[in-house]
Structure 1
Amino acid sequence: MDRISLGNDEFEGRNNAYVLADDAAGELALVDTGIAVDPVRTDLRDGLADRGYEIADIDDIVLTHFHADHAGLAGEIQAESGATVYVHEADAPLVAGAEDAVAAVEDRRRELLAEWGVPEDARRELRTFFESAEIEGPPAEPTPIEDGEVLAVGGHRLETVHAPGHAAGLCCFEIDDGDEAFVGDALLPVYTPNVGGADVRVERPLAKYVDTLERLADRDYDRAWPGHRDPIDDPTARAETILEHHRERAATIVELLADHGPADAWTISAHLFGDLEGIHIVHGPGEAYAHLDHLRHEGFVTADGGTYRLEREPNATERIV
């Protein structure tokens, strides 16, 4: 698979933009675009030039989800090339920069940061990060897609596999015969994708992500092409490893509540991750919240506002995630 590696200093390591080309038909497509900053623009233009293309040649852009490190340049590329931009219907309003959708995310984030017990100085630091992080380009005019929809782009057939959890509209795309897939941030080769803080719109984020991991494991791809870093040669094993990671994390949180008593998401986050800065001020307590919320739905903890109390510990035969 032809990928261009793009700079990324803020998130899970270098991003990937995948090039799909059918030179005979004159068709060129990108899967994801990278952050809208000059070094990444240069990475992308140089990568295309090395292959004999330029931005104006791009016919289609397929976005795995709305996050700026995947969709940031989509609007600029569309303006220059006239490309069609495809993204799941849940994320399309954010890619389009719809004011009500953007405001709803910001309002929900403020509500949750308060509920999670994030101190005001940390919230100020996070606001400063979002205000100063110039990673989003102009909005695009996206074409919404849904689970199961098939796209014919760049000489390939891509089948949409909705994979929510990390983001409400995150999608994987099965390639041609379905033995391989672009997986965005649903599976990453090094880190585990953040749930809870990465997209505050997602209700029951851990449960949704577990469903996604199980769905991807069942599909048993030969290889997965992630949004960051290198290809994953055994995607089923990677999905199962991430599932086990979340089982262990849930068990750790049960132990923390048993040992230290009732706590909010910020306190649990401090036990799990230590001091946080930048984007991790929302990612850390968001991940803790995703687990606490899951434990509450499963009957292991109770919640009073943003404070969680252990109701009972799981027995030896119970799987809590």
Structure 2
Amino acid sequence: MTEHTHRRGDGTDTPATIDHGGGVWSIKVPIPDNPLGHTLVHLLDTDRGPVLIDTGWDDPASWSALTTGLASLGVRIEDIHGVLITHHHPDHHGLSGQVREASGAWIAMHAADAEVVRRTRSAEPGVWLDYLTAKLASAGAPPDHLAPLLAARDSGRMRTLPGLDAALPDREITPGDLLPLAGRTLRAIWTPGHTPGHVCLHLEEQHPGNLPGRGRLFSGDHLLPGITPHIGLYEDPDDTTVTDPLGDYLSSLERIAALDAAEVLPAHQHAFTTPAARVTELLAHHAARLTDLRTLLATPLTPWQLAERMEWNRPWDQIPYGSRNIAVSEAEAHLRRLVKLGHAEAVEDTDPVTYAAL
């Protein structure tokens, strides 16, 4: 593995690209004001030109890092042949439109996430804030948490969220299919959970370092070496289907472990080996968390109250406003799983609805 560096303004070197061998590189593309730091955008060489796996956040500094990283590998943005998106989140899909505009590249995404992009772009102003406010109110959020959302709705500041101008893909990633990439053998694996249309991409080629296992896996956010990805409810104001994102995620993890990939190339942190061991850790983590939540639900709680009592990376009173919304969605996803397993149920005639362990 070889790292290329570029000179920062303060005169020190910082790793910008990593050569993973076999025509695969990664480029660190920063995420502004985010503890994750950066997205690892992967570059895959093909016989018809270079293809990107994800693109990074839509920000001038991120665009500069992407184009500079490509240039250090002898690739111009105009050379990009196609873009494969693991999922629709803005730190992965944000720059896709700019890449397509500069290069004419195609953009491919799973149909479920493409629908999220389409729905978000076409939503009437205020629909999302109305939906989010109602959702949080039904989860038991206090009035002081709802007040900023109501104020934003009333003031008309309703189209400032990331993703509202995300590029519509022009190709579909079909699960199980080999992707039409000249000279490469890359198969799409549907791994819902983090988003409904998240995909991992399995490079079914001999590992360039001859590591034991079956090729390499571009895992997006599905499988990360030291982070448990957020699993919240799939948000769709027009869909009343009772989904089970955590159940989807756990099933997807087991499917990925069965691939027996020699190496995982995730979208955050760093490449790693022994994915089955990491899957085992994540399955154990979620099993323990569900057990802990059953204990908390010995007393009936709303999803908001459950989120307040769950273990996070900081105390609840130190969690920022927007992150609390994400935490409540994660609490609801865990509640859905407990209800589906028969380990909890909604308490009748409660408003907002409380849940109790069985």
User: TM-score w.r.t. structure 1 length?
Assistant: 0.86
Distance 1:208 1:26, change over 3 A: closer
Which of 284, 290, 307 is the aligned partner of 2:353? 307
Residues 225 and 232 in structure 1, CA contact (< 8 A), matched pair in contact too: yes
Q: Which residue of structure 1 lines up, in the alignment, with residue 114 of structure 2? A: 92
Distance 1:101 1:191, change over 3 A: farther
Paired residue type of 2:27: I
User: Deviation digits for residues 238-287 of structure 1, max 9, x if unmatched?
Assistant: 111111110111111111112xx111111111112323215422221111
Whether 1:206 aligns to 2:234 is no
Question: Alpha-carbon deviation of 1:87?
Answer: 0.3
1:93-172 aligned at under 5 Å gives the runs: 93-96=115-118, 98-100=121-123, 108-123=131-146, 132=160, 138-153=166-181, 155-172=183-200
* Structure 2 Cα separation of the partners of residues 190 and 123 of structure 1: 33
In structure 1, runs of 5+ residues without a counterpart are 313-321
Q: Which residue of structure 2 lines up, in the alignment, with residue 20 of structure 1? A: 44
How many residue pairs are counted as aligned between the two chains?
A: 307
Q: Secondary structure at the match of 1:151?
A: coil
Q: Which residue of structure 2 lines up, in the alignment, with residue 267 of structure 1? A: 305
The range that moved more, 282-291 or 101-110, is 101-110
The range that moved more, 29-38 or 300-309, is 300-309
| Larger Rg, first or second structure (1 or 2) | 2
Distance 1:39 1:281, change over 3 A: same
Residues 125 and 159 in structure 2, CA contact (< 8 A), matched pair in contact too: no
User: Deviation digits for residues 136-187 of structure 1, max 9, x if unmatched?
Assistant: 6552343122211211337422100000011000000000334211011111
Which of 206, 218, 221 is the aligned partner of 1:182? 218
The range that moved more, 120-129 or 91-100, is 120-129
Identity score, percent: 29
RMSD: 2.7
Whether 1:288 aligns to 2:316 is no
Q: Secondary structure at the match of 1:90?
A: helix
Which of 34, 49, 72 is the aligned partner of 1:10? 34
* Structure 2 Cα separation of the partners of residues 14 and 74 of structure 1: 16
Q: Secondary structure at the match of 2:188?
A: strand
In structure 2, runs of 5+ residues without a counterpart are 1-19, 206-213, 237-241
* Structure 1 Cα separation of the partners of residues 80 and 116 of structure 2: 22
Q: Which residue of structure 1 lines up, in the alignment, with residue 264 of structure 2? A: 224
* Structure 2 Cα separation of the partners of residues 148 and 101 of structure 1: 35
The range that moved more, 32-41 or 173-182, is 173-182
Residues 27 and 66 in structure 2, CA contact (< 8 A), matched pair in contact too: yes
Q: Which has the higher contact order (CA 8 A, sep 6+)?
A: 1
